[in-house]
Amino acid sequence: MGETTQHFVLLLLCLSGLVHSSAAFVFWTAVVDISYYNNITNDTEENFCECGVYGQNARVETTSGIVVLPRDDPKGCHPDTVYNWTSSPWIALVKRGSCNFSEKIIAAVEQGASGVVVYNADGTGNSTSHMSHPEAAGVVAIMIGNIQGMEIVKLVNNGTDVYMTIDVGSPHGPWITSYWLYFLSLAFFIVTTASIAYFVFISANRLYNLRMHKRSERKLRSEAKKAIGRLQVRNLKRDDEITNSEAHMCAVCIEAYKVGDVVTVLTCDHIFHKACIEPWLLERRTCPMCKCDILKALGVEEESKDSITTTLPQDATVITVAGGDSLFEVPLTEPVRSDPERQQHRYDNRAFEGDTEGRE
């Protein structure tokens, strides 16, 4: 696993608050890369190692510049400490001791340093510790070992220009191990993959159901067209009772029948304007009055109709219509009833009563 992945996982965990209680124990190492021109060999020497440690309050990012030492005090504690450098960027190299880390860092930054490197006290070898500098937060500041720091100081004091690059290393802490990072990374990718797979499955399932629904609707629409073609169609004449009273009207458009109107007689013997009922039947395939299934009544097979789930209201919605001297209710929606006889009596088409009596 690459370092970039480890950094990403750690950052994700920190942002999510999962390691909030352990954040104080996490520290970042720094890769220190120095290069200088060797006057003896006439070659450019370059040395780098992951031997620095970012301060607890430091800005963990990359910086670079010429290494500069404080003029009088190698520990750089005095606020008026002078650094013998006017160009930029440059990195201050100071020794540990005499004052706290914040004072050293502030004194160097006020002089224009882009970063501060503190090398450990004498007798500590190349060991380092975790600097705490809350008063100088947000500065690229690291600590390196005493031996390495003294070698750089010796080069600078001999008049050698030492160029240093500080780069971000890797996270460390008592709770961070390679196996733990592997586990977290694996868990992260498994959860992400599962989420994507679930999303793809749900999307594909919805798309499939939508496609099947449209296919079923097209088939039912085609069957409805065939059924409509088999229904009785006739023109209303002057002797038709339903043309002689405004009380008789089409339940779809709520308009009275007139002589010359073209009407369609459904299998349930209810009458409607042909121009009104055909679009209705193409969409709903049932009688607006009694909910009689026109396709089933005509013996048309509807294999795909069972796959379409329709939620019907519990109560019928009706409107009161005034026609002549009478008031009667016209249903807008009507639930399916288990008793066909009750349906017929409740939604009796008055416009058709006279017509049936004439035929009898």
CATH number at residue 331: 3.30.40.10
Distance (Å) of CA 311 to CA 287, 308, 333? 17, 10, 12
Residue span of the structural domain in which 326 resides: 209-352
* Residue 22 counted as domain residue: no
Could you give the percent of the chain with pLDDT greater than 90?
Answer: 36
* Residue 185 counted as domain residue: no
Interval 79-93 mean pLDDT = 85
Residue 231 is predicted with a pLDDT of 86
Residue 25 is predicted with a pLDDT of 57
142 shares a domain with 242: no
Residue 216 is predicted with a pLDDT of 83
* Residue 343 counted as domain residue: yes
HEC assignment per residue over the chain: CCHHHHHHHHHHHHHHCCCHHHHHHCEEEEEEEEEEEECCCCEEEEEEEEEEEECCCCCCCCEEEEEECECCCCCCCCCCCCECCCCCCEEEEEECECECHHHHHHHHHHCCCCEEEEECCCCCCCCCCCCCCHHHCCCCEEEECHHHHHHHHHHHHCCCCCEEEEEEEEEECCCCCHHHHHHHHHHHHHHHHHHHHHHHHHHHHHHHHHHHHHHHHHHHHHHHHHHHHCCEEEECCCCCHHHCCCCCECCCCCCECCCCCEEEECCCCCEEEHHHHHHHHHHHCECCCCCCEHHHHCCCCCCCHHHCCCCCCCCCEEEEEEECCEEEEEEEECCCCCCHHHHHHHCCCHHHHHHHHHHC
126 shares a domain with 213: no
* Residue 89 counted as domain residue: yes
347 shares a domain with 228: yes
Q: Tell me how far apart the terminal alpha carbons of the chain are, to the nearest angstrom.
A: 91
324 shares a domain with 230: yes
Amino acid occupying residue 355: D
Contacts of 9 (CB under 8 A, 6+ apart): 181, 184, 185, 188
pLDDT greater than 50 at residue 236: yes
215 shares a domain with 143: no
Interval 235-246 mean pLDDT = 80
Retrieve residue 280's tokens.
């209705």
- Burial environment of residue 66 by CB neighbours within 10 A (0 to 12, 13 to 18, 19 or more): middle
146 shares a domain with 226: no
pLDDT greater than 90 at residue 141: yes
Which stretch of 139-148, 156-165, 271-280 has the lowest confidence by average pLDDT? 271-280
Residue 174 is predicted with a pLDDT of 58
CATH number of 163's domain: 3.50.30.30
Q: 157 vs 7, which has greater pLDDT?
A: 157
Residue ending a domain, among 172, 192, 221, is: 172
pLDDT greater than 60 at residue 260: yes
Which stretch of 6-20, 188-202, 215-229, 279-293 has the lowest confidence by average pLDDT? 6-20
Residue 70 is predicted with a pLDDT of 92
Residue 309 is predicted with a pLDDT of 42
* Residue 67 counted as domain residue: yes
* Residue 20 counted as domain residue: no
How far is residue 100's CA from residue 61's CA, in Å, rounded to a whole number?
A: 22
167 shares a domain with 221: no
* Residue 285 counted as domain residue: yes
Residue 313 is predicted with a pLDDT of 43
The total number of structural domains that make up the chain: 2
* Residue 233 counted as domain residue: yes
User: Which of 105, 183, 182, 95 is CA-nearest to residue 145?
Assistant: 95
Q: Residue 207: which region, alpha, beta or left (left: phi > 0; alpha: psi -120 to 50)?
A: alpha
Residue 193 is predicted with a pLDDT of 93
